Amino acid sequence: MRRERFDKMNVVPFIDIVLVLLVIVLATASFVTNKTIKIDLPSASTKKEEDKKSIVIAINKEGKYFYNKEELPFDMIQARLNALDPKSDTVSLHTDKLTPFDYFVQVIDVMKAKGFENISIVTK
């Protein structure tokens, strides 16, 4: 049996595979959306890291309420807050600096009535 000498490597199949993988990545990456809430937080002189396990309630400048990035009406926010344990659950409140103060006070009133102990008001 005669062996042929290995002088060069055929890279065409490798290039084909790389191009197919590139097309797959580009096609799927365009469908992935980052679901974020556009809120311009007010500034503060003191800063503390936000607890990653906390429940996030956000209010944007149009007065729309969000519970963990899910837009809900205020009565649903109130129902979900009432279902939480005020002693162990941590709630982070994000409000846009242009949000009318009334929306902020409504959420705080619900948490105060329930007796929440772990509330953080997020600023930048």
Q: Is residue 5 part of a domain?
A: no
Q: Give pLDDT, residue 19.
A: 94
pLDDT band per the 50, 70, 90 thresholds, residue 20? very high
The CATH number that applies at residue 91 is 3.30.420.270
Query: Is it the case that residue 51 has pLDDT exceeding 50?
Result: no
Mean pLDDT calculated for residue range 79-99: 88
Mean pLDDT calculated for residue range 2-24: 85
Total number of domains constituting the chain: 1
Range of the domain at 93: 55-122
Q: Is residue 41 part of a domain?
A: no
DSSP string, 30-71: TT---------PPP-S---PPPTTSEEEEE-TT--EEETTEE
Q: Is residue 117 part of a domain?
A: yes
Q: Is residue 29 part of a domain?
A: no
Vertex 55: Cα angle to 112 and 100 (nearest 5): 60
Q: Is residue 113 part of a domain?
A: yes
Mean pLDDT calculated for residue range 36-64: 71
Query: Is it the case that residue 18 has pLDDT exceeding 50?
Result: yes
Q: Is residue 112 part of a domain?
A: yes
Q: Is residue 45 part of a domain?
A: no
42 exposure class (CB count in 10 Å sphere: 0-12, 13-18, 19+)? middle
Query: Is it the case that residue 2 has pLDDT exceeding 50?
Result: yes
Tell me, yes or no, if the pTM score tops 0.85. no
Q: Is residue 83 part of a domain?
A: yes
Return the structure tokens found at 32: 């992935």
